[in-house]
């Protein structure tokens, strides 16, 4: 598809970037923090904020399963179930979050982990479905989510080309409104593992597919390069403060970094400009000032020979093009020319 519409936004190669601030679980299960993150996202100038909606007991079977992560400069190991349960919101809280997004005029998005989560989000009111890299090959889930007919944003971290082809074919990507986010599921992703040249491969194999970038790198370089490679939908994890406890805070962007990242993407898109090779309006003005023109270096009398001794190139305004001097040298003057005067075509014999 050449473009996909999410609410009032059109997304495609010929449209401005659609930028998502990924809150994830960085609210730590605290509603006040979630609302504050909405304010931060709005101030950053992004189009949407995305959360994760789940029931931890439907994600994790083994209650004894341990999870280790970096937090506040230390390695933390705890029950994965306890960690996710701590960051869950109730249905009532989700309604409050969505209502606050509406008030702030920023799109509410969330990644559902199960069909029951999607039912809740549909009830609350969403305009697109985000499926993370962890469920990229979960074809039955993708199928159920596609029954909603809502646009789907798919992250393909950890995937092989065969897996990408399988998942996209299964959803019938040529007809269904789906967008593919290139990403590397490493937190953070180091530059050598971003592998942005994969955009070229994906563009060749899926020429009509809308591509985006889920950015886990530090800084803005990768996202700006992704713009040049054709990405038009972006997301990045952010936090209120790196020093908050939890698994994702330490590598997430802080508020000023999120703002700078979004601004850099928008400026990168503006910098693409047009493919037609022509000077800009301001360049045309500068051209009259900066380009050198043939002028008289000395007083020249009628019938004098014109050469490098009496005709040279100087910045002198809107005169003949510099290359004309090749035609002038060796000719005779047809009139008296004052020193510093611009040379005209009628001033020398043709």
Tracing tokens 């109730």 back to the chain, one arrives at: 90
Q: What is the pLDDT of residue 29?
A: 98
* Largest interatomic CA distance in the chain: 102
pTM of the model: 0.92
Q: What is the pLDDT of residue 258?
A: 99
Q: Where are the domains of the chain?
A: 13-272, 281-347
Q: Tell me the CA distances in angstroms from 282 to 45, 146, 288, 295, one per residue in order.
A: 29, 49, 10, 25
Q: What is the pLDDT of residue 249?
A: 97
Distance of CA 26 to the CA centre of its chain: 22
Q: What is the pLDDT of residue 299?
A: 98
Dihedral sign, CA of 59, 35, 69, 82? negative
Tokens linked to 16: 């401005």
CATH superfamily placement of domain 13-272:
Aldolase class I (3.20.20.70)
Q: What is the pLDDT of residue 63?
A: 86
Q: Give, for all 350 residues of the chain, the pLDDT tens digit.
A: 789 999 999 999 999 999 999 999 999 999 999 999 999 999 999 999 999 999 999 999 888 899 999 999 999 999 999 999 999 999 999 999 999 999 999 999 999 999 999 999 999 999 999 999 999 999 999 999 999 999 999 999 999 999 999 999 999 999 999 999 999 999 999 999 999 999 999 999 999 999 999 999 999 999 999 999 999 999 999 999 999 999 999 999 999 999 999 999 999 999 999 999 999 999 999 999 999 999 999 999 999 999 999 999 999 778 999 999 999 999 999 999 999 999 999 999 87
Architecture of domain 281-347: Alpha-Beta Complex (3.90)
Strands (DSSP E) contained in the chain are 3-6, 9-12, 18-24, 48-53, 66-71, 74-79, 107-112, 129-131, 152-155, 178-182, 210-214, 233-237, 292-296, 311-315
Q: What is the pLDDT of residue 132?
A: 97
Q: Tell me the CA distances in angstroms from 162 to 135, 137, 169, one per residue in order.
A: 15, 11, 10
């Amino acid at each position: 598809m050449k473009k996909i519409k999410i609410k009032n936004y059109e997304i495609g190669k010929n449209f401005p970037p659609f930028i998502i601030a990924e809150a994830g679980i960085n609210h730590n299960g605290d509603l006040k923090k979630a609302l504050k993150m909405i304010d931060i996202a709005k101030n950053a100038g992004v189009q949407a904020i995305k959360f994760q909606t789940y029931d931890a007991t439907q994600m994790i079977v083994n209650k004894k399963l341990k999870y280790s992560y970096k937090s506040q400069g230390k390695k933390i190991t705890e029950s994965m179930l306890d960690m996710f349960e701590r960051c869950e919101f109730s249905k009532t809280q989700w309604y409050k979050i969505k209502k606050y997004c509406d008030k702030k005029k920023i799109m509410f998005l969330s990644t559902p982990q199960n069909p029951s989560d999607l039912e809740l989000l549909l009830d609350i009111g969403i305009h697109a479905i985000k499926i993370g890299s962890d469920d990229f090959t979960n074809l039955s889930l993708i199928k159920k989510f596609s029954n909603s007919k809502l646009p789907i944003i798919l992250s393909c971290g950890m995937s092989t080309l065969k897996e990408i082809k399988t998942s996209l074919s299964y959803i019938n990507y040529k007809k269904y409104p789906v967008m593919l986010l290139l990403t590397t599921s490493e937190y953070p992703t180091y530059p050598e593992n971003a592998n942005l040249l994969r955009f070229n491969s994906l563009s060749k194999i899926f020429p009509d597919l809308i591509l985006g970038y889920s950015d886990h790198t530090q800084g803005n370089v990768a996202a700006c390069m992704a713009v040049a490679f054709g990405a038009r939908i972006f997301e990045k994890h952010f936090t209120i403060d790196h020093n908050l406890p939890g698994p994702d805070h330490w590598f997430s962007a802080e508020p000023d970094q999120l703002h700078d990242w979004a601004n850099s993407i928008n400026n990168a898109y503006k910098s693409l400009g047009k493919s037609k090779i022509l000077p800009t309006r301001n360049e045309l003005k500068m051209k009259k000032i900066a380009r050198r023109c043939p002028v008289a270096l000395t007083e020249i009398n009628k019938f004098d020979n014109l050469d490098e001794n009496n005709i040279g190139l100087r910045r002198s305004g809107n005169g003949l093009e510099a290359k004309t001097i090749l035609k002038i040298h060796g000719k005779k003057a047809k009139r008296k020319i004052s020193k510093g005067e611009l040379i005209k075509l009628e001033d020398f014999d043709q």
